[in-house]
Amino acid sequence: MAIELGRSPIAAPRRHVSAWSRVYGLGSVYAKTLRDSRLAFLIMAGLLGGIMLVAGAAIGTAYATATSRADLVNLATTAAGSMPGVTGKAVNVGTLGGYVTWKYGPLFVIAAALWSILALSGTLATEASKGSLEFVAVAPFGKRRLALEKLAAHLTVLTAVLAILALASWVAGAVFGSVPGDAVPPQAAIGYALWVGLIALASGSVAFALSPSLGRAGAAGIAGFILFAGYLLNNLQVTEPALTGPAYLSWFYWTAGHLPLAGEYDWVSLVPVAVVAVVLFVVGLEAFVRRDIGASSSIRTPRLPRAILGLHGPIGRAFGERFSISLAWGIGLGFFGFGIAAISRSLADSFHTMSPASVKIFHDIFPLFDISTAGGFLQVVFVQLGFIVVGFAAATLVSGWASDETSGRLEMLLATPLARASWAVSGGLGVYLAIVLMTIVFAAGVGIGALMAGSDAVTPMAGSVTLGLYAAAVAGVGIAIGGLFRTSIAAEMAAVAVTVTFLIDMIAPPLRLPDWVHQLALTAHFGQPMVGIWDASGVVACLVIAFGGLALGGWGMRRRDVAR
């Protein structure tokens, strides 16, 4: 056959791509990434903006007079003075913005940073592992532009979320402010949002830089560790001078003087955080451009013993699949519990030097137990946060259970003599065993910390069981929804249950909502378990929800089609 040289084959006719679809839609990598981030935007904007408004409403309503604000300042400064490593600096806590910063400040920044870590560790690595990145990477533009567009899309969504946060801060001050100084000026709202955004970006940039080499899990794990370690170091260095050196490396330490909602500004401190983020983004871009696509060198973890793999049946298999992640949650929580329990000693010591009036304040606020014990300290400082953390841990375990169906593995499992209901129930029991493991490891951390503080270890260790029970109840909600409807929403619904419970528990008392509203929060029914004061109704409710959810999940699976 004769071939005519010098002519290119006829190319397919090009369709015009509209300017809008290049910005949002399917017209570019940037537009597609933005489109894929819709749900994340709604969740984060709703969470950060919503909590800001709710917190503002709660403070403005519950402490509406100058006298009540004086009491609040008294409480906060006393607590901050006695627990400097835990509660952070109390600056202008008599104002709405100052109190929000002191009480809820870490919540906003850690939530935003975790989101950034998850998004930036996965934006390239997840697509690479699925294989879809190879399709995009052979498009007629370079890998650098591909990564830049994905990064730009995350920055856009983050900016939009921060704008909502700033707006909510301003609105909270304007609408709910009840005493002079409650108003949040635009400069403060923007300054606070900027700080949250830069800390989030710096944390996310670590994940972005590492993900081409380590893959998503390794990169997210290291970035998450740096985030929490930096936060804890910055807090703990106040009482433990030996930690001041490592704390210098924490961006929380660098920006400790920037508290815009409380009326303190340190704009210059934000510069090094921005520089770190930019440098790490460049490193990540170059790493992605130079490495083979999908060729990550995952962090080697030791093989699990065969006995833990659970090859003999579905319960053991479900537990074996969840073993590593539950152990990781347990260790993380255990370290946290250990630190809080151990640091209770500093409070006990400070009680000896505190004025009788200050001691009386504590006794008046916590009349049922001694806050200077490890259990008492954990009850006050840790339990509320602990419920949120174990709740989200349970949601991740439910996600693993659900992955049997969402990944398509369930078809092969159900083609064996394993009934649908048996799969749901045995998989759920595997999740509960994983929660037991997590709780045991966490309780061990608490116990060791309590012993180091010279305190009673048994009571707070026993109290740790309530966190496990709460996690099991959350998992029960997820399993029930997964079985009844579809497993692809099970983990999300479990996470929603945790968030709603937290919000009800947080806002119902200060807003003086009807008691039945507060009673809807499961976390309102545990008593003070870390000091040995148990409320049986909470325990029973958890067990009922956990095992009821399991039964409902099994029943639901029998009735519906298996998804592909």
Q: How far is the CB of 405 from other proteins (least distance, A)?
A: 10
Alpha helix segments (H runs only) across 131-185: 132-137, 143-176
How far apart are alpha carbons 130 and 109 in whole angstroms? 30
CB of 234 to other proteins, least distance (A): 36
Q: Which is nearer to other proteins, 364 or 561 (CB)?
A: 561
Site for other proteins in 405-434 (CB under 8 A): 407-409, 411-419
Told to check if 46 binds other proteins by CB under 8 A, we report: no
321 near other proteins, rule: CB under 8 A: yes
Displacement of CA 7 from its chain's centroid (Å)? 58
Q: Does 308 help bind other proteins (rule: CB under 8 A)? A: no
User: In terms of CB distance, is 379 or 422 closer to other proteins?
Assistant: 422
How many residues sit close enough to other proteins to count as binding (CB under 8 A)?
23
For 39, 137, 170, 269, 467, the CA distances from 205, given in Å and listed in that order, are 21, 22, 28, 18, 32
3-state secondary structure 384-399: HHHHHHHHHHHHHHHH
Q: How far is the CB of 153 from other proteins (least distance, A)?
A: 28
Residue type, 118: L
Candidate list 69, 103, 216, 317; residue touching other proteins; CB under 8 A: 317
Nearer Cβ to other proteins, position 67 or 301?
301
Task: Give the position of tokens 């996470």.
Answer: 495
Cα 392 to Cα 496: distance, rounded to the nearest angstrom: 9
- Answer yes or no: are the C-beta atoms of 121 and 208 closer than 8 Å: yes
484 sits near other proteins (criterion: CB under 8 A): no
Nearer to other proteins, 409 or 512 (CB): 409
Q: What is the DSSP string of 436-488?
A: HHHHHHHHHHHHHHHHHTTS-SHHHHHHHHHHHHHHHHHHHHHHHHHHHT-GG
If the CB atoms of residues 52 and 217 are measured against other proteins, the closer one turns out to be 217
Which listed range, 266-274, 371-379, 401-409, 539-547, lies at the site for other proteins (CB under 8 A)? 401-409
Closest approach of Cβ 408 to other proteins, in Å? 5
The residue (of 89 and 317) whose beta carbon lies closer to other proteins is 317
Nearest to other proteins of 144, 312 (CB atom): 312
562 lies in the site for other proteins, by CB under 8 A:
yes
Contacts of 541 (CB under 8 A, 6+ apart): 473, 522, 525
Binding of other proteins at residue 314 (CB under 8 A)? yes
Amino acid occupying residue 441: V
Q: Which stretch binds other proteins (CB under 8 A): 22-30, 88-96, 171-179, 404-412?
A: 404-412
What is the DSSP secondary structure assignment for residue 526, as one 8-state letter?
A: S
If one asks whether residue 309 binds other proteins (CB under 8 A), the answer comes out as yes
| Nearer to other proteins among residue 10 and residue 415 (C-beta) | 415
Least distance to other proteins, CB of residue 409, Å: 6
Phi, psi dihedrals of residue 178, rounded to the nearest 5°: -125, -10
Q: What is the DSSP letter of 256?
A: T
Q: In angstroms, what is the minimal distance from the CB of 207 to other proteins?
A: 21
Residue 310 CB, shortest distance to other proteins, in Å, is 8
Query: Which residues, numbered 166-195, are part of the site for other proteins (CB under 8 A)?
Result: none
Q: d(Cα 464, Cα 383) in Å, to the nearest integer?
A: 9
Site for other proteins in 248-307 (CB under 8 A): 306
Assign 264 to helix, strand or coil.
strand
- Other Cβ atoms within 10 Å of 183 Cβ, number: 14
- Span from 144-152, 253-261, 308-316, 457-465 in contact with other proteins (CB under 8 A): 308-316
Cα separation of 393 and 468, whole Å? 10
In the bound complex, what is the minimum distance in angstroms from residue 328's beta carbon to other proteins?
Answer: 14
Rg (C-alpha) for the chain, rounded Å, is: 25
DSSP state of 259: B
For residue 134, state whether it binds other proteins (rule: CB under 8 A).
no
Cβ proximity to other proteins: between 186 and 313 the closer is 313
Q: Report in angstroms how near the CB of residue 414 gets to other proteins at its nearest.
A: 6
- Sign, CA torsion 252/257/258/263: positive
Minimum distance of other proteins from residue 151's CB (angstroms) = 27
Nearest distance, CB of residue 396 and other proteins, angstroms? 16
Instruction: Give the nearer residue to other proteins in terms of CB position, either 257 or 313.
Output: 313
Nearer to other proteins, 34 or 557 (CB): 557
Q: Are 375 and 443 in contact (CB under 8 A)?
A: no
Q: Does 561 bind other proteins (CB under 8 A)?
A: yes
Query: Which residues, 6 or more positions from 492, have their beta carbon under 8 angstroms from its beta carbon?
Result: 395
Residues ≥6 apart with Cβ < 8 Å to 522: 470, 473, 501, 538, 541, 542, 545
Q: Is 311 a residue that touches other proteins (CB under 8 A)?
A: yes
Closest distance between other proteins and the C-beta of residue 300, in Å?
A: 12
Please state, as a whole number, how many other Cβ atoms lie within 10 Å of the Cβ of residue 101.
Answer: 26
Give me the residues that bind other proteins (CB under 8 A), please: 306, 309, 311-314, 317, 321, 407-409, 411-419, 561-562, 564
